[in-house]
Each structure stands twice: as C-alpha cells, then as structure tokens.
Structure 1
Amino acid sequence: MIPAIETRKLHKRYGTRTAVQELDLRVERGTVFGLIGPNGAGKTTTLRILLDVIRPTAGETRVLGEDPRTAGPALRRRIGFVPGELRLEGRIRAGRLLRHYADISGPVAPGAIEHLAERLGLDLSRPVRSLSKGNKQKLGLVQAFMHRPELLVLDEPTSGLDPLVQREFLSLVREARDSGQTVLLSSHVLSEIQQAADSVAVLSSGAIVAEGDVASLRLGAVRRVRAGLLSADAIDVEARLRRTGDLGDLEVTSAGDVVRVAGTVQGSIDAFVKALAEFQVLDLAVEEPDLEESVLRLYGEPAEQEVARA
C-alpha cells in the first residue's frame, strides 16, 4: 500500500542555516505518527513542506501518493491542518467562519460542526476576535476534523487547551485512526505522543535521531524529581541517593530541619523512591521531563552521534 506520507532526502536551507537535512520519513496509512523534538528541531518546517506552504531545497515528497507541489487544491481538500501559529481574527462568528471553511474544504456531514464544537466546548455564536487563545485553538481543531479528511496534519494542536479538552482531543485522534484516517502529530509534549501515537520520529537539528514505536524509544526514561525530607542529614541523603544509580543534576540542600532534593532520574525510578523511603518524606514530585532534555540526554545531537559512530 502506498504510504500516506513519504519523503526522501528532504532538505531545506535558509541561507546558511539548515532547517531540515536529508530527511527520510514514511507514515503508513491508518496510523498516528508522532513527530517530536525541541523547539527549532525542524518539525514545523517539515510540515509546511508536506503541505506545499514552503518548497524544499532538495529531496522528494509524496503526500497521499501525490507530489504536493503539483497536486494543488484537490490534494489539500483531502487534508485537515492545524498550524502551529493559528491566527484567527475578525468580527465573523465562529459558526459562520466554520461553514465558510466547509464550503472550501469539501463535504461536511450535517451536524458535524456542532457535534465537534460541543465535544471541545466551543461557543459557535461568539465573534472570532473575542475568543481566547484556547478557544481559537478549538476552532482550528473543528475545521481540521469536520470534513473527515484522509490525512490530519496537526502542529502543536493542544497549545492553549486545558487538560479536559486535551483529553477530548486525544479521543478524537484515536477515533480518526480507528476510522482509517492518518494523523501526523507534531508536538513537544511527551505525554501527548505517548498516549496517541503508534510510531514516532525524534528530530534534533533538522535530522531524525531516533525512530520507532513509542515504547522502544524510552521517551519517558528521564524524569525530573523534587522531594522534601524532615530531620535528615543532607550529606547522608546525597550519598544514599547517588548509590541508586542513574541520577543527573542532583542537588541536595538543607534549610533548617528540611532537606530539599532536586534532580533527574534516568530509567526506573524504583530505587530512587526506595532510598527516599528511608527518611521521613514531607513531599515528593515526579514531573514529566522537558522534551529537549529527554531527547538530547537519550539520543544526543546528530553531530555527537556521528562522532560516536566513527
């Protein structure tokens, strides 16, 4: 079967700066594919090339079996797109704007707009210019999903959304996949990718540094931890924690009767928690890692990998 998206040796350069380099990407139909990486990794540039918003410097691109540079509006009607920077203004009401988009994008089932708006909590009667960032993002999501496109290209789609709406969005993504649609999801939120994606590619400095299923890439293997311990000796605490193994940036400070611990844990957190349990724990926070920290710690910069392979 022809893949939904395929790129070969895709390259994009702005003057002396390379945004995307030698990118080979394949997204199978009926799957959710996550494209992740720190800001500036080349995610948005890649998506814009796929949609023919910008042209590549070199390389080949196929979207739904066609070259986006020549396929024109007919191909774009088969795609739902949410840009990373969604700019919506004007006095027009949200519902009327969506009906206008429906006339452009193709057939939209009766009631589809209203159904999606209700699920996401979007008031269709409000003027677009009065909507908050989060509500404008909801409007963008409705216009992307409403005509049930073959391919959804979503660039940071949950920006500005509250957790409940983010959960509903992930349900929409799973439903789209189950109905045979393909989703290309670009994000810097690890939990979003972990919950939704079947496969993922990690970008760093415009190149893929890792690719595969979510579990095999160990994307959650680095966690940031903070804890407060009562009536403990800071030197003793630090010594015991360091014996647990994969700790990074460990900082142990003392303020009165409380010892504060902060750092990162790579791999299993079990040994770290058991070491803390030897003391009286006042508080404990385990945070989702910063994506840039995780990507670079686990996979390194492309240049570093080249050195390692040499």
Structure 2
Amino acid sequence: MSLLTNVMDHSLDDGYAEAAARKKADGSGGMPKTLRAKLGLAAGLVLAALVVTVGAAQARVAAPVVAKEREELVDRIEGETSAADKLEKSVDELRDEVNTRRREALEKSGDGDRSDLVGILSGAVEVHGPGVKLVVNDAKDVSGTGADGQPRGTSGFSDTGRLRDRDMQRVVNGLWESGAEAISINGQRLTALSAIRAAGDAILVDNRPLVPPYTVLAVGAGEQLSREFQDSADGLYLHALEESYGIRTAISVADDLKLPAAPSVIVRTAQPISEKGTS
C-alpha cells in the first residue's frame, strides 16, 4: 500500500522537478529557442517593412517638391536663354545700323569702297564667298598622358596626339599668309584683335573655349588658297603633325562660305592716370 500511496502522491518523478529547477537557474527555461528565433525573425521583417514603408511615404511627399524645383529651374533657364537671344538680336540690329550709317557717311566723303574693305578685314561685317574649309581634329588614340609621361597640357611638344594652341596659331597664320581675306574657327570670327591661347587642354579664341574637331573657314581664292597653304611652311607643319602624331586633317575647296561678324571689335587703349587723383 505504501508503494501505491507514493505513486499517487508523487506522480511526476523528482528528477523532472530537479531538471526544471536547474534550467530555471541557468536562465534557459521558458520559451524554446526555435520559437524565439522565429519571433525574432518576424520582428526583423516587421521593422524592415516599416522602414521601407516610411521611406516610400517620404519619397512620395518629396517627389512633388523636387519636380516643382526642377520645373522652376527649367523655366528660369529658358527665360534667361530667351533674354540672351533678344539681346543678341538687338546687338546685331544695332551693329547693322552702325555699319549702315558709317557706310553712308563714308560714301558722302568718297571713301565708301574703302569702308567695306576695312569692315571685311577687321571682321566687323559678315562675309561670304569662295574659300577653303579645313577640319583639324585630335588623334584617335589621344591618351591621358603624353609620351614623356606628363599630363596633357604640360608637355612642350605636340607628342600626345592633341592639337595645341600654338598649332592652331600656325594654321591661321599660314592661311593669312596664303591669301585668306577672312577666317573663322568653329564659328568664331578672327579679327586683328583676336588671340589664340590655351587653358589646360582647351584652345581659347578670344577667351572662348573651342571643342574639337576644329572647323577653320577661310574666304579667299579657293583653289589657289588651298594650294598655297598646303605648300607653305605652316601647311607642311600641319602635315608633319598628321604623319608623326596622328592629327587628323581634311581640307576642301568651297564655292560659298559664310562667316559671321565678330561680336566686338572695340579697340581699348590705356590712359594715363592724373596725378591729382594719386597720393
């Protein structure tokens, strides 16, 4: 009977109670590891979904603002471009008016023909007529450094396959010497006041950067101008650049070339400073 009584009073073995107490003391009791892992993963997914949702909501809120700013910027650019076009048109009209009045005044004094010639040679008026079209471009395999390992623009020689300002100077001077009456480079009219310079790798004409290929238009006696330029020292120099460094050139005779007038041919001179204004 004592055995039956013990079984009834202690239906769960004492070892189970000891094991449960030991797990509780070690902190490993409670929720199973697999369940905790699943709950942790679920919490992470919920948090990620919340972040994505908040980000999408913020993007939807910011999108109209960005679009509006972009539209305002585009409108501003278009407005400034339109204003610049109007100013340029006004400048052209005023230039034509000045040229007309100057021509009328010179015709009254008997110097009308001389005025036209001076206007053409100075670049103050647009010209058209037969001439030569010369296209010059850098070599196809232009690299970031020259043959001496220096960056382009620092070498003293045309050894990188890139056309330099001094090369363009020789081309232009050769065309003038060969009989060109008017010259433009990429639509930029050259005058007696024009300067061809360099800024890094860029070629500047009157402080305006040019982008290759460089299209040089020269009004003159077409065939003769082309022949004399190619036979000149500067034409042979350009040919040497082509042979040695891969500079690409193409020259052709045109029946009618149109060159624009120069934007400004104002001659500025220095004036002495009055001693009264100095200390």
Q: TM-score of the superposition, structure 1-length normalised?
A: 0.19
User: Is the strand fraction higher in 1 or 2?
Assistant: 1
User: Is the helix fraction higher in 1 or 2?
Assistant: 2
Q: TM-score of the superposition, structure 2-length normalised?
A: 0.21
Larger radius of gyration: 2
Greater RCO (Cα-Cα under 8 Å, separation 6 or more): 2
